[in-house]
Structure 1
């Protein structure tokens, strides 16, 4: 269902999504040797899995371990 305009201005979906992301999302940055990253990307492609899924799973495992400590 489309959002209604406020103050007579049309709803800006892109702006809304950018503001939501700024308030609700965060970035995790890391740097590794190029060869390691290339091998990781190739391995994910060969297995048909997303890099973000692998990273998310690893992060969740660490969170779970800390909770069960």
Structure 2
């Protein structure tokens, strides 16, 4: 991984991050009507929220609810 200088490997942060992401991360792609997405983005601005934080919280809420349901 990375370039070599005098026969030694040089750490390449970009290559390391790319490999780590490939092994540890997944993405979710969704499509919604333009008006819905624009309204969502505007609401994020008004509330000062990040899209990724809102989606993560919603996903975690579903996971938590499923775990709660499976324990009953």
Q: Classify the TM-score, shorter chain.
A: 0.7 to 0.9
Gaps of 5+ in 2: none
Gaps of 5+ in 1: none
Q: Deviations over 1:13-34 (max 9, x none)?
A: 1000000001000001110000
Larger radius of gyration: 2
Matches within 5 A, 1:29-68: 29-68=29-68
Aligned length: 64
**Runs (4+) of structure 1 moved beyond 3 Å?**
none
Larger proportion of strand: 2
User: Please, what TM-score do these two structures have when normalized by structure 2?
Assistant: 0.84
Shift of 1:9: 1.6
Match of 2:25 in 1: 25
- Counterpart-to-counterpart distance in 1, 2:15 and 2:21: 10
- Counterpart-to-counterpart distance in 1, 2:42 and 2:64: 28
